């Protein structure tokens, strides 16, 4: 009697979820008008192979406006914030998740839509006697634009279920008249199911 068996590999983590937080900074020409902010992100991936994970990346970046130091003869009063929501189908190329190694390195790429909600105000008050009226701008806008992100990182302390993750990312969002470039450095926890 001959028995033939077919082995289908069962990965320790077929589905990987991660939540991360970190530092976010615009690096476009308009970066001097925004303070560094923070980012909150969620990643969900399915292990298509031990080295290729497909899924999605959601993140929210928040920055607050900064007063302009080079505006001579006036006070620049800025309030509010801008939020960028990235919704990107993504792919992650990683060292084998079947290995029980202490570190796994990966590269992640995603592209999709960025929802930009700007809820900022700007008041410019001239510094002259008599307290003249200033110039006021309401910068409230909302738009959905294409964008992409690319990053490379490591996961550590691999116990096949819970990992700690470091993920620096470079992001580009194409606005209607220009594009916004920003980076983030995220740290988080990923859980394999």
* Domain-embedded: residue 127: no
Residue 181 maps to which CATH number? 2.40.160.20
pLDDT in tens, 17-41: 999 999 999 998 777 778 899 999 9
Q: Note the pLDDT tens digit of each residue in 70-107.
A: 566 667 777 888 899 999 999 999 887 665 567 889 99
**Dihedral pair phi/psi, residue 30, rounded to 5°:** -85, 10
pLDDT of residue 25: 95
The helix/strand/coil state of 2 is coil
Instruction: Answer yes or no: is 129 within a domain.
Output: no
Domain count, the chain: 1
The H or E element spanning position 147 is strand 141-156
Residue 160 DSSP code: S
- The confidence band for 155, taking pLDDT boundaries of 50, 70 and 90, is confident
The alpha carbon of 174 is separated from its chain's Cα centroid by a whole number of angstroms, namely: 15
Q: What is the pLDDT of residue 30?
A: 75
Number of DSSP helices (H) and strands (E) in the chain, helices first: 0, 9
Distance CA 84, CA 62 (A): 7
pLDDT band at 8 (very low <50, low <70, confident <90, very high): very low
Counting every residue, how long is the chain? Answer: 193
For position 12, what pLDDT does the model report? 46
pLDDT at 3 over 60: no
Structural domain for 184, as ranges: 15-65+82-115+142-192
Neighbours of 182 (CB within 10 A): 24
Question: Residue 72 falls within a domain, yes or no?
Answer: no
How many Å apart are CA 102 and CA 45, to the nearest integer?
20
pLDDT at 1 over 50: no
């Amino acid at each position: 009697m001959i028995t033939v068996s077919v082995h289908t590999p069962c990965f320790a983590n077929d589905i990987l979820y991660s939540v991360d937080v970190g530092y976010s900074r615009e690096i476009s020409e308009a970066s001097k008008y925004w303070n560094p902010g923070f980012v909150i992100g969620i990643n969900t991936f399915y292990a298509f192979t031990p080295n290729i994970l497909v899924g999605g990346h959601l993140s929210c970046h928040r920055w607050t406006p900064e007063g302009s130091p080079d505006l001579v003869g006036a006070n620049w009063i800025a309030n509010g914030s801008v939020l960028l929501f990235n919704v990107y189908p993504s792919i992650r190329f990683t060292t084998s998740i079947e290995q029980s190694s202490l570190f796994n390195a990966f590269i992640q790429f995603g592209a999709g839509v960025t929802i930009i909600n700007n809820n900022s105000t700007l008041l410019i008050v001239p510094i002259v006697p008599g307290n003249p009226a200033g110039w006021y701008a309401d910068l409230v806008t909302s738009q959905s634009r294409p964008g992409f992100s690319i990053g490379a990182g490591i996961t550590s302390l691999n116990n096949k279920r819970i990992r700690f993750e470091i993920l620096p990312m470079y992001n580009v969002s194409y606005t209607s008249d220009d594009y916004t470039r920003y980076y983030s450095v995220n740290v988080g926890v990923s859980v394999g199911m």
